[in-house]
Chains A and B, each alone.
Chain A
Amino acid sequence: MLTRKTTWHFTFVSLIIGFMLAIQFQTSHEPDVRDTRDIWEIRQDLKKEQELHKQLLQEIRKYEETLEKYEQQRSENKGAILRQTVEELKKEAGLTEVVGEGVVLYVEQMYDESYVGPLSDTVSAELLRRLMNELNMYGAQYVSIADQRIVNTTVIRDINGVTKVDSYPLHSFPFEIKVIAVDAEKMYNRLKASTIADDFALENLLLTISEPQQRVVIPPYDGTVRVKQMEAVEDARR
């Protein structure tokens, strides 16, 4: 029958088999993560998921609508978007009339009755530029000086003793400076608080600032826009 040695061999082999079996069993039977939520928690989780579902559906609908709109636009009026862009660009460049909320500044001469001496019949370009900077700083969107629209390429300079805005001379007082701002009230308050009126007074000019007005009309730029230094961007696809 079984010798002692053989028995030990069998025991050893079966020990190893048992060990491997146990490991294999443990490996393939990972304990399941038990769901210990009660019905309320499950309900809340379900609600959360449902909300997410709703949100996702809404998003899908939104994007589908957008897509549809684009498709429609593309098929209906290919030029419309282009025209709209052109309009926007024109507005940005100052080639359209603008109406909006803003303030009006009046500039007039201010001399004492007893004043004797040379009369200045223009406002210095330096001062006007300073005013422009100040207005831009206070959030001016559109500005015109004596009905001359200020655009990006506008120059304010002194030509033979006469200050000119672009090519329009400023020598008839009083003239108006119209400003359209995002927040006219704030603009007004800031101008009131600034020392720009004192600077005008030094040149014997009186700067009057109107109350914020609901409707300020600023005319379009009437010159031709010359584009000398700009070049079209090369098409990247070429």
Chain B
Amino acid sequence: MMWLPLLGLVIGILLGLLTDWRIPSEYANYLSIAVLAAFDTLIGGIRAHLQNIYDEHVFVSGFFFNIILATSLAFLGVHLGVDLYLAAVFAFGVRLFQNIAVIRRILLTKWLESRQKNRL
């Protein structure tokens, strides 16, 4: 069952490439922020799942809410003349790294545990 999300990712990329959609370059910033927010949510979801604190409502609502919040923050920044999207990039970036680090540690611990079990 693990391969299904990966398959989803591949299908999504293929779909995007095949539809040949392009957004105007002035909106590229918003899309990049949205992608970052989505990634953050996905990684956060994986981490929560590994820590057994996963809640599907939190995950799904967080996904959409983060995307909308990030893009609206970028939008506000453009209209205020302040690069507010940098704040979103920073926040999401930091969280992304932390979450990935946590995931790595959990996986490492699990792997070491399984190896020790095998040895015993």
A13–B31 touching, CB < 8 Å? no
Q: Chain A nearest CB: distance from B110 CB in Å?
A: 13
Which of A5, A17, A30 touches B12 (beta carbons < 8 Å)? A17
B11–A22 touching, CB < 8 Å? no
Contact A20 B16, CB 8 Å, known A9-B56, A13-B45: yes
Residues from chain B with a CB closer than 8 A to the CB of A6 are 49, 54, 56
- When A and B form their complex, what is the total count of cross-chain residue pairs whose Cβ atoms lie within 8 Å? 109
Task: Check: B8 CB closer than 8 A to any chain A CB.
Answer: yes
B28–A11 touching, CB < 8 Å? no
Q: Which of B35-43, B84-92, B98-106 contacts A (4 or more CB under 8 A)?
A: B35-43
Contact A18 B5, CB 8 Å, known A9-B60, A24-B35, A26-B21: no
Task: Check: B53 CB closer than 8 A to any chain A CB.
Answer: no
B45–A10 touching, CB < 8 Å? yes
- From DSSP, what is the main secondary structure of chain B's interface residues? helix
Residues from chain B with a CB closer than 8 A to the CB of A9 are 45, 56, 59-60
Task: Check: B120 CB closer than 8 A to any chain A CB.
Answer: no
Q: Which residue of B lies closest to A8 (CB)?
A: B4
Q: Which residue of B lies closest to A11 (CB)?
A: B8
B4–A20 touching, CB < 8 Å? no
A13–B63 touching, CB < 8 Å? yes
Q: Chain B nearest CB: distance from A87 CB in Å?
A: 64
Task: Check: A21 CB closer than 8 A to any chain B CB.
Answer: yes
Q: Chain B nearest CB: distance from A16 CB in Å?
A: 6
Q: Which residue of B lies closest to A28 (CB)?
A: B28
Q: Which residues of A contact B (CB under 8 A)?
A: 1-2, 4-28, 30
**Pairs A–B under 8 Å by Cβ, sample size 29:** A2-B49, A5-B56, A9-B60, A10-B45, A11-B5, A13-B59, A14-B5, A14-B9, A15-B8, A16-B12, A16-B63, A17-B35, A17-B39, A17-B42, A18-B15, A18-B16, A19-B12, A19-B16, A20-B35, A20-B38, A21-B12, A21-B13, A22-B12, A22-B13, A22-B17, A23-B16, A23-B23, A24-B35, A26-B21
